[in-house]
Amino acid sequence: MRDIVLYGHDVLRERCRPLEPGRDDDFLEILLTDMRAVLREYNGLGLAAPQVGEPVRAFIAGDDTGLPLAGHTVFLNPELEPFGPRVRAEEGCLSFPGVWADVERSHGVVIRALDRRWEPVTLELTGMAARLAQHEFDHLEGVLLVDRMGMVKRRLLRSRLKRIQEGGC
């Protein structure tokens, strides 16, 4: 079973590769099963594939987040089109245990992705759902919570971040 990958691991900095229908079917089925188990175990809202050590363009949302995702929980090869004002709100990340920081995101996004049966999905998301999509999309580009927080916050969290990086959190 795959487990959560913490800040400091190189895979979190990779630009993830697109998934290919057919070629990736079996790999994806096992990957999604593992991702669901990890998300449930750590009680997260969302999880991106590199967070379990696989640099591929996939993220999931929990089944019971209450977010308006129209029943979709699997997003493959997503593309985002942001809209609306920039909004600051607190975010956490399973790869940064115990870290919370204000992050500025677009209020809304149109997300185009494939679902787990490779069917195209287009959703217009706002609020927390849009924030989740932007956070998880960042992971697929190798961009992390630490890159999105302000300088002051990063400095305040320096020793905590160092502990996570060194595996001693």
Least distance (Å) between residue 21 CB and Zn ion? 26
Helix, coil or strand: residue 162: helix
Q: What is the smallest separation between the CB atom of 80 and Zn ion, expressed in angstroms?
A: 15
Distances from the Cα of 135 to the Cα of 46, 105, 118, angstroms: 9, 9, 22
E strand spans, 1-159? 46-48, 58-61, 74-91, 101-114, 120-126
User: Nearer Cβ to Zn ion, position 28 or 133?
Assistant: 133
- Judged by beta carbon, residue 8 or residue 118, the one nearer Zn ion is 8
Task: Determine which residue in the list 60, 74, 93, 125 makes contact with Zn ion, applying CB under 5 A.
Answer: 93
Q: 3-class DSSP state for residue 22?
A: coil
CB of 103 to Zn ion, least distance (A): 11
What gap in Å lies between CA 49 and CA 84, rounded to an integer? 28
38 interacts with Zn ion by CB under 5 A: no
Instruction: Report if residue 58 touches Zn ion, rule: CB under 5 A.
Output: no
Active site residues: 136
Q: Does 113 bind Zn ion (CB under 5 A)?
A: no
